[in-house]
Amino acid sequence: MVVVLRDDHTLYKKSAITIQDLNNEPIIIFKGGYEPPIIDMFKQDGVPLRIEYAVSTVTTSLNMIQEGLGLAILAELSLSNLPPNVRTRELEPQVWREIGLAVPSLKESSHFPMEREHPGGELSISQHNFLCTLI
């Protein structure tokens, strides 16, 4: 996950941003399953989380950041097109979000051919690692 902010924000000068850096910053939170790990990060570090807005789409978050209404913590994979004055910075420590994949049968699903040494529909280590890189 990365911190998304305007390029004129004071934190933009830092190459990586910590939760302590976000103390008292207005946060735009995306309600797509991002809330629990973000809330936990702030609680673990003893930093008050100042949620200014809660939105349902990444595009809304980016538009609000572009207008200077706050910062967001988002998955880098969800950021395909950033507005001109919106940038990302690494969040330290790195945070990972776990995403599950549900299919009726892994044997019949596309793009995940089952390896012979894993009968019964279990994911191989390489398939598991591939899924983890998508998160």
99-118 pLDDT per residue, tens: 676 777 767 766 544 444 44
Q: Give yes or no: residues 25 and 84 share one domain.
A: yes
CATH of residue 19: 3.40.190.10
**What is the torsion angle, in degrees rounded to the nearest 10, for the CA atoms of residue 77, residue 50, residue 20 and residue 95?**
-30
Q: Give yes or no: residues 86 and 116 share one domain.
A: no
Beta-bridged to residue 77, according to DSSP, are none
Is the per-residue pLDDT at 135 higher than 90?
no
Q: Give yes or no: residues 78 and 47 share one domain.
A: yes
pLDDT value at position 96?
Answer: 61
Query: Quick one: 46 exposed, middle or buried, by C-beta within 10 A (0-12, 13-18, 19+)?
Result: exposed
How many of the other CB atoms lie within 10 Å of CB of 126?
10
Spatial distance between the Cα atoms of 132 and 135, rounded to a whole number of angstroms: 6
Q: Which residue has the higher pLDDT, 49 or 130?
A: 49
Spatial distance between the Cα atoms of 82 and 6, rounded to a whole number of angstroms: 10
Domain count, the chain: 2
